[in-house]
Structures are given as structure tokens and as C-alpha cells.
Amino acid sequence: NQSDLELWNVMKHIKESKLHTSEVYRVTHMYDSTVITLDCVPSTITYTNGLLIVGEDSGGVKVIDPSNGKCLQQFSDHKARVTDIYADNHRVLSCSKDFSIRVYRWIRDDEKKLNQSLPLLESRYQLLGGSVAMKTHDGFNHVLCDTGSCVGVAANLIKLYNFRHQI
């Protein structure tokens, strides 16, 4: 299965036009557009650190360079559909219908001496939602995070994980 993904850069034209905020509506029709053909149909997608993070129906998570559509990394930690991805400059969390939340951490070039300009993800650990599994059959649908905690949402249940150390 292939899927086309179109990326728009509206902010570039807004900044270049130096318009006041109240006049932004006049330039929203101007944009840069890039079409990337993915080798999968994304179940969820987010953008951070200049990279696309794509969740798949198969349970995979991919890191894609939006400038050329190249898959830089691929993970197969989940056993069912990835339903949501949270990403910031320090970590990425993915949640799945398999009742798990996976935690990844960005690795910078200075940590691994990889001699590349883009950061890489490192798969760190998995949070299991066993108590959620007994109450719902849908798995996790949403995930959010800050430096010391993670929230997973499954149907009408919310599971909060607290950490002693920053993730």
C-alpha cells in the first residue's frame, strides 16, 4: 500500500510578507507544497525536530525525512495499530491498540558520534496497560507526556504513569 502525503509551508510566506497578524488570512492561499509517497498508509502522524513520525496499522513506527520522503528509522515494537504519537524535542511516545505505550528518546550526534545532521530515535522501554485491558477492548487511543509523567487514554479510562527520573 502506498499513500501520498502533502506538506504545506504556510508560515514561510507569512513571515516573508511581513504582514500583521490581522492580515494573515490574505496570504493563507500561498504555500509551498511537497508531495511524499509513503510505503504505508499512516494511522497517525506528527512532526518534530524537522522529521515526520508515522504510526502504522501494523504497529510500526517510522521516522521520515520530509525533504525527500526517505525512511530514516523503523521500529516494530507494537503488535497492533498505532493510534497516537506524542513528540517533543526530547522524546517520542507511541500508543497502540495492543494496550502499550512505547517510549523513545532522541539521540543527538554528540552522544553517538554518528556524523549526521538529523537526530535519531532510540527505543527505550514500554509501558503496559494491563489494568486498562481488563476494562476495555480498544487499547490506548491517545498519549500525552511531560518531563515526569505520561497519560494514556483508553475509551473512557485515563492511565497516569509517574516517573522518578525524566524520560
Tens digit of pLDDT for each residue in 27-84? 344 445 667 777 778 899 999 888 999 999 999 999 998 888 889 999 999 999 999 9
Q: Can you give the pLDDT at residue 128?
A: 76
Q: Can you give the pLDDT at residue 40?
A: 78
Q: Can you give the pLDDT at residue 158?
A: 86
Q: Can you give the pLDDT at residue 97?
A: 92
Q: What is the pTM of this model?
A: 0.74
* Of 8 and 14, the one with more pLDDT: 8
Amino acid identity, position 85: I
DSSP string across 76-121: ---SS-EEEEEE-SSEEEEEETTSEEEEEEEE-HHHH----SS-EE
Residue for grid cell 518534530: 48
Q: Can you give the pLDDT at residue 11?
A: 46
* Of 131 and 56, the one with more pLDDT: 56
Residue 140 in this model has a pLDDT that exceeds 50: yes
Residue 162 in this model has a pLDDT that exceeds 70: yes
> Measuring CA to CA, how many Å separate 93 from each of 41, 130, 144?
19, 18, 8
Tens digit of pLDDT for each residue in 82-126? 999 999 988 999 999 998 999 999 987 665 544 566 788 998 888
For residues 97 and 156, give the distance between their C-alpha atoms in angstroms, rounded to a whole number: 14
